[in-house]
Chains A and B, each alone.
Chain A
Amino acid sequence: MKSSVIIFPGSNCDRDMDVALKKFGFQNKMVWHNDDNLPESDLIVLPGGFSYGDYLRCGSIAGKSKIISSVINFAKSGGLVLGICNGFQILTETGLLPGVLQQNKNIEFICKNVFIKINNKENKYFKNIEKEVLELHIAHNEGNYFCSSDELKKLEDNNQIAVSYCNKDGNCDDNVNPNGAIRNIAGILNDKKNILGMMPHPERMIDKYLSGEDGSLFFKNLLNNLKK
């Protein structure tokens, strides 16, 4: 399976993502934001980081970069697009995913492990994944997901809330909401379920000794689903 990771000025999780994708068997290519065309890909990843120094709004400038029109076309034709952290912010700024990621409620940069509950397994990202709750890392200042109440109703009705912040047993409440995100939302899918944006970083959880391996589960599972 072929993947491409887009690099923007200020991306800093692009190489971690490259390592993770290759570790689990993707043939990955790195793509510069100023390129016109995407290489042939089964998966496009918008990595974490601070594209354009978070100027104006996080992800807003990257969301207008040259390669993005190809990413939008790829996504609209049903291709898999995964945005992690800043990548999620970019996806909302392009309009591929609804809503916006605002500054964390407590005005603090948060860097810690969290638990997320998988709400929807009817998609390529989570189908057949062995766990209901994953322990992943978050590191962000703007992860407070917000959308209008109409949009939230659409997300819920269409089962688009992919993952929510929870405790280790899978219970979601305000105490385990790190950033104030509406309904504890950690990640959402588009209505066709081919685009996933989420704040937690699976690429940081792929080593048995250093981090734990819930990220490994995510990548192995995604690769298996793509092969089918």
Chain B
Amino acid sequence: MKIKVVVTLKNGVLDPQGKAIQQTLNGMGFPEIESVRQGKYFDLEINEKDEAKAKSKAEEMCRKLLANLVIEDFKIL
């Protein structure tokens, strides 16, 4: 089954790319944008029919490789 994972920087961790994107959007005529935080998105195709098991595998993958828990959080969608 397909599992979607989103990895984002933790609150408080500097995100220079997000900041640059925000400033560019502001300059393009979107003054209402107050903050942009950039993240990563993963589509995992897991050979497992049980959704709970697949999600728990995905969580293990996030902890071991996909996210660096010093600065990043992950969400399994």
Seen from chain A, the residues whose Cβ lies within 8 Å of a Cβ on chain B are: 56-57, 60, 64, 92-93, 98-100, 102-107, 144, 146-148, 180
Contacts and interface: CB of A to CB of B under 8 A. Distances in A.
The 10 closest A-B pairs by CB, nearest first: A100-B70, A107-B16, A100-B71, A100-B68, A103-B16, A57-B68, A107-B20, A105-B16, A99-B70, A146-B71
Given A60-B68, A92-B70, 10 more contacts: A56-B66, A57-B68, A60-B65, A64-B65, A93-B68, A98-B70, A102-B71, A103-B16, A107-B20, A144-B14
5 contacts: A92-B70, A100-B71, A102-B14, A103-B16, A106-B16
Interface residues of B, number: 10
A106 B14 CA distance: 11
B17 interface: yes
A4 B48 CA distance: 42
Interface of B: 13-14, 16-17, 20, 65-66, 68, 70-71
A84 B27 CA distance: 39
Contacts of B65: 56, 60, 64
Nearest to A104: B16
A56 B14 CA distance: 18
Contacts of B70: 92, 98-100, 146-148
